[in-house]
Structures are given as structure tokens and as C-alpha cells.
Amino acid sequence: MISVSSALSIVLKTVPPPILSTESVPISASTLLNRVLSEDVVCKEGYPRYKVSIVDGYAFSTDVHGDPENFKVGDEWIVMGRIRAGQCVGSVVEKGRGCYYVTTGGRVPEGCDYVVPVEIFKGTGEVGTSVCVDGEEGYYFKLPKNKNVRLPGCDVEKGGRVGWKGQKVEGNNLGLLAMSGRREVECFKMVTIGVMSTGNEIRDVGEGGEEDEGGDWIYDANRPMMIGCLMELGALVMDLGIAKDDVKDLEGRLLKAFSGGCAAVVTTGGASMGDRDYMERVITNLGGSVLFGRLMMKPGKPTTFAKIEAGEHRGKCVFALPGNPCSAWVTGKLLLSPAVRAMQGLVERDGGGGDGGVECMLDGDVRLDADRPEYHRVRVNWEGSMGCYVGRSTGVQRSSRLLSTVGAEGENGNGLLLLPRGKDTEDGWARKGEVFQCILTGRVGGGRRQEGGSGMEREGVRGGLGEGKEEAVRILGGCKGDRRAVKDAIWKVWGEGGVSGVVLTVCDLGDVEGGLGAAGVRDWCGEIRGEGGRNTEAYLGGVVRKWLGGADGGCVDVAVGEEEGRVEVRLDFGGGGGEGEGMEGMWREIKRIIKRAGRERRNLG
């Protein structure tokens, strides 16, 4: 079994490159949405092309009328013309007291350089009548030069880029491309992917009637799902239907796909160990070599990926995904989606071949699979009060339970939380408050913002907790020294009250000269609890929940304790200069402590 990241790099190295011949595509939503640009697109003339008013008002010229700040109540001008948006005028303001009525988006006449909003004038605004500045006697107003005017090219300069090679066209990009002044743009040819379900028990939605009730069949969930996911990605799909568990039927459909121009085929089912799981055999019969057939993941273990090595279909690929719907969906997101994007010529501008990953805090305890890391479906929200993402499980994660892609309230799951194998953890559980890597599969909600600054400024400390955390966190500064000094520092903080946790960084695992290593902290934990070093190890078993990485060289160890539901804690301020990996671990722990403390306060309240 190989890891998902190894599998992804094999896939990305193997799938056919984007179809290099390109085509011109008209700039319209029906033709261009979701296509991938094969050229940089620049703005021909600048946008806007001419000087445009930002308000409904009267256009004036500094040369003729003087600076706008000199306007005063009672000043009066003749209206020389009325210019509405879209109406072409090029008139020059004549010498005299004339001005032009102009609507928002209308061209500001040659020679005019500022527009004063209609609200401050009295008068009908008809051509030949006069308008005068309204208001109390003696009033002057200030309007900077060029005010309320958009100059040509101010939104996009002439020659400025509005489309990037490798960019997928979404709604906003359509708008930008329309600003280019072009009618068509060059795109990579669309990639076609074949989609096939397999299995004698699988029936097309809508097929059959009441007389079939009671038979051993299930509706095909995977094919519509995979087709939908591929369409979301902007790929062309060839629907290959449902194949029987029959070698000839399977081969026939795959060949049809390849001959029909599919760059790759996605199948579901028949990938495991059953006597009718034929996918591997069929692929081999067609001259394919299986590049992997088992993944170290849950769900999705039997995921198989192959490439046709010879013959007319050389280079085409098969993603033989497991039949269980969640297994197909998860492996589709992790492996197929990045592959399709690469085949389309899309350039991943967020720094990775896969979907973006974030650190995310787990919002409940989860029992882990002993042997395989799990891609746990979660609903991710930004927790403003915590300054971190929090992932709530979507419930039972059985590979067949496609409802695990949706939360209890119908909100689509938007993250795959990467949980470790149970055997790599102390007790086989992932605990509430622990932070894991999370692959985002959808839009993230939440985002309640809090007032206030970070309060985390401390020299040498990288990052911080985000806004509004000063209430929760106090940085105590360094306190290098012996056990006594550290202890005093901590007691001092404790004595001030309102502290739920203290983070102590330790520069070394052993006692270090003059300072306090992790071993010292352990003893000291016992001491401050009045247990005087007796039975320290046992005490720590209950108290210290986690020691994070760390060691020498200025790295940081963090220990977080917990007793009677209360975060207790300890920390020394020896090493840990504030840089390096250990520090990041520390920040994670701090966030976790605050979260816990907040929860406890709520519980108490």
C-alpha cells in the first residue's frame, strides 16, 4: 500500500498533458465558463476607454471655472448640454460660464475635469437654463481636482493583463475578459473523461418498475456523482453507462471510451478482492500497467490507477475507484480532481497539485482506524473567537454512507480531515481540540470577526493568534533561570487569576545547566502540586497530556496538562527563541488551550 501523496505524484506524472492544440472560444458564459486559457490576455485599449463621470452631476473645467473649492453658494452657470451614458459627445467647453449635465457612466466632455453632484444645485438642468449652487449664504465646498471622474485606463490600463495562461475562467474572469476588447480568446481544448459504473447489482436511476421491487439491485449513485464532479471541473464527460461484472463488457466500454477520445476513464466498483472484481484483469488485457492498486487510506483502499502502455491508446489512463460511494468520492477529490485540472492545462496557483490544505481543529472525539489514516468528512468553519478552523464530523463515516459528505443540517461537508492511524497514537482516538491537516473540498463558512488587535506582539514570536485574543492569552516573556525563578514566574501569573493555561517552553529534554529541562519540569509539576517529587511519573501520567516535538537548538517542547476538566499547565521559559518548527506547535497548543478554556467557561456558566 502506498500513501495518498505518493499516489498523487504518480498520477500527476502519468496523466496526459493538456491537449496542446488550442482553440478560439467566444467570450460568453455559455462558451467560456470553466474553460482554461492557453494565453495571457491583455486589455487592448484600457478600461474605461474614455473619461467617465462617477456621479450624476455637472461637469466643469478648472481652466474655465476655477478650482472646485472656490464654488460658493449662489454661483450660477448655464447648462450647455446634457450627456447621458452611452451618448457620444466630444464637445469642448466653451469659454464662459457654461457647464454640462452628465449622468453616471457618461463621457465627461473634452476640457472638463471634474463633476459636481446634482444634489448641490438648484435648477431644472435643461439646456440653456441656469443652475446655481444651493445652500446657506457664504458656504464654500471642497472638491478635489479630478473628483468624480474615472480617467481612461484607470480600471485596467492599456496592455494590462486580464487573463492568465492556465487560468480557469469563472464568473469574474468572464467580466475581466470582456474588458479586454477581444471577442475570442484562446483556450486549451477540453479534456474528455469517460465515466462508468460496474456491477451486476447496479441499476440506472429511473430504470425498472414496481414489478422489480424486492430484487437484489441498488441504484447507481456513483455515475451521476462522478459525472457531476467532472462537470464542475469543466471537463467533457463521456457516459459509458453501467457495465456488468463481465470481462468482455468491461473491455468493450473502455475501448469505446478510448476510441471516442477520452484521455482517461473513471470506473467505480470491481476494484477489490472479490471473484468478480475484474478491473485489474481488464486493464492488463488492454495493455495497461497498474501503477498502484492499494492505498494507505480510509476510505478508498482498493483505488487502482493504470496507464495504457502500448498501441493506439498508449498514454491513456484508468482510475478504477472503489465501488463504495464515499470511497469513490474521496479518492475522486484527492486524485482525480487534481489530475483533471492538470490535463486541462490549469495552473495551480495556490501552491499545490492537490486541493488546498489548512490546519483544522477537531470538534469532537473520533475513534481511529487502527491501520489506515482516515480522510474524515467534516464541516469546516472559521471560528473567529479562536482564530482557527474548526472541523465538525459529519457523523458515521462508513464507506457506503454517502450522507457523510453532508452535515446534519444539509450543509455540504467542505473538508477532509486527515486523521492518523490509531496505532500511531497513544489510545487510538483523535481528541476534541487536536489540530490536523485538512483538505478543503468546498467553501468555508463562519468567519465571525472580533474587534481588537492580536495582543500577541512579542519580539521573536512568529505568527500569532489572530484578532481579539488578548483577553485569552498573555505572553509572559522570557524567564531563563533556575527552577525557583520559573516557579515564581508561574505562581505570579497564576496568582493574578483568570488564567486557564500557561505555555512553558523548554529548551532541552534533560535538565540543562542553570535552566530547566523537561525532566525538571516534570519534577516541578509534582512539587507545585504539593506532591514534592513523590510519585512524579504517576502524577504526570494524569496531568501531562502531550509533549510536542522539540529538543535542543532553541526548539520548543510544550506540555499541556489537564486535570478535573481544567487545563492546568506548565511551561518554562528557557529556550525556544521563538522561531522554528517547535514554535508552530506551541501556537497550535495555545489555540487549543484557549478553545478548551472557553468551553469550560461556557460549561461553568
Residue 302 in contact with ligand LQZAQKY5, rule: CB under 6 A: yes
Are the beta carbons of 403 and 412 closer than 8 angstroms?
no
Q: Which stretch binds ligand MOO (CB under 6 A): 218-226, 292-300, 421-429, 553-561?
A: 292-300
Q: What is the per-residue binding string for ligand LQZAQKY5 in 524-543, x denoting contact by CB under 6 A? A: --------------------
Binding mask 336-355 for ligand MOO (x = CB under 6 A): --------------------
Q: Does 234 engage in binding with ligand LQZAQKY5 (CB under 6 A)?
A: no
Grid coordinates representing 447 are 468567519
With contact defined as beta carbons under 8 Å apart, do 98 and 79 qualify?
yes
- Residue 20 in the binding site for ligand LQZAQKY5 (CB under 6 A): no
Residue 299 or 574 with smaller CB distance to ligand MOO? 299
DSSP string, 549-577: S--STT--EEEEEEETTEE--EEEESS--
Backbone angles phi, psi at 13, to 5 degrees: -75, -25
CB 185 within 8 A of CB 332: no
Angle between the 536-543 and 518-528 helix axes, to the nearest 10 degrees?
90
Question: According to CB under 6 A, which residues from 322 to 351 bind ligand LQZAQKY5?
Answer: 322-325, 327
d(CA 538, CA 529): 13
Residue 472 grid coordinates: 485569552
Decide whether 165 or 294 has the Cβ nearer to ligand LQZAQKY5: 294
Among residues 38, 61, 197, 397, the one that binds ligand LQZAQKY5 under rule CB under 6 A? 197
Q: Residue 602: what are its φ and ψ, rounded to 5°?
A: -65, -45
- Exactly one of 222, 344, 381, 405 binds ligand LQZAQKY5 (CB under 6 A); that residue is 222
- Please give the sequence-ordered ranges of beta strands (E in DSSP) within 433-576, or none if there are none: 435-440, 445-446, 503-506, 544-548, 557-563, 566-567, 570-573
First to last CA, the chain: 49
Is 468 a binding residue for ligand MOO by CB under 6 A? The answer is no
> To the nearest whole angstrom, how small is the minimum distance from the Cβ of residue 198 to ligand LQZAQKY5?
6
Cell 484521455 belongs to residue: 263
Choose from ligand MOO, ligand LQZAQKY5, none: what does 323 bind? Cβ within 5-8 Å by kind.
ligand LQZAQKY5
Residue 418 Cβ vs ligand LQZAQKY5, minimum distance, rounded to whole Å: 18
Rounded to an integer, what distance in angstroms lies between the CA atom of residue 435 and that of residue 362?
A: 6
- Is 397 a binder of ligand MOO (CB under 6 A)? no
Binding-site partner at residue 202 among ligand LQZAQKY5, ligand MOO, none, CB < 5 to 8 Å by type: ligand LQZAQKY5
| Binding residue for ligand MOO, selected from 106, 163, 269, 322, defined by CB under 6 A | 322
- Which CB sits closer to ligand MOO, 322 or 466? 322
Minimum distance between the CB of residue 303 and ligand MOO, rounded to whole angstroms?
Answer: 8
**Distance from C-alpha of 585 to C-alpha of 434, rounded to nearest angstrom:** 11
- Which does residue 310 bind out of ligand LQZAQKY5, ligand MOO, none, counting CB within 5 to 8 angstroms by kind? none
Of the candidates 83, 134, 137, 131, the residue with the CA atom closest to the CA atom of residue 110: 83
Dihedral angle sign, alpha carbons of residues 576, 434, 375, 409? negative
Check: CB of residue 300 under 8 Å from CB of residue 354: no
Report yes or no: 581 and 549 within 8 Å, Cβ to Cβ: yes
Q: Given the rule CB under 6 A, which of 53-61, 213-221, 403-411, 493-501 is the region that contacts ligand LQZAQKY5?
A: 213-221
Q: How far is residue 436's CA from residue 368's CA, in Å, rounded to a whole number?
A: 13
With CB cut-offs between 5 and 8 Å by kind, which of ligand MOO, ligand LQZAQKY5, none does residue 31 bind?
Answer: none
**What is the C-alpha to C-alpha distance for residues 327 and 167, in angstroms, rounded to an integer?**
29
Closest C-alpha to 461, from 475, 480, 479, 481: 475
Q: Counting contacts by CB under 6 A, is residue 300 touching ligand MOO?
A: yes
Cα-flanking dihedrals φ and ψ of residue 196, to 5°? Answer: -140, 135
Cα separation, 16 vs 32, in Å, equals 22
By CB under 6 A, residue 275 contacts ligand LQZAQKY5: no
User: What are the grid coordinates assigned to 96, written together?
Assistant: 464662459
Q: Which of 38, 198, 222, 327 binds ligand MOO (CB under 6 A)?
A: 327
Q: Determine if 399 is a binding residue for ligand LQZAQKY5 (CB under 6 A).
A: yes
- Residue 298 sits in the site that holds ligand MOO (CB under 6 A): yes
Q: How far is the CB of 268 from ligand LQZAQKY5 (least distance, A)?
A: 5
- Residue 376 lies near ligand MOO (rule: CB under 6 A): no
Binding site for ligand MOO (CB under 6 A): 298-301, 322, 324, 327, 399
* Residues found near ligand LQZAQKY5 in the complex (CB under 6 A): 197, 199, 201-202, 218, 220-223, 268-274, 277, 299, 301-302, 322-325, 327, 399-400
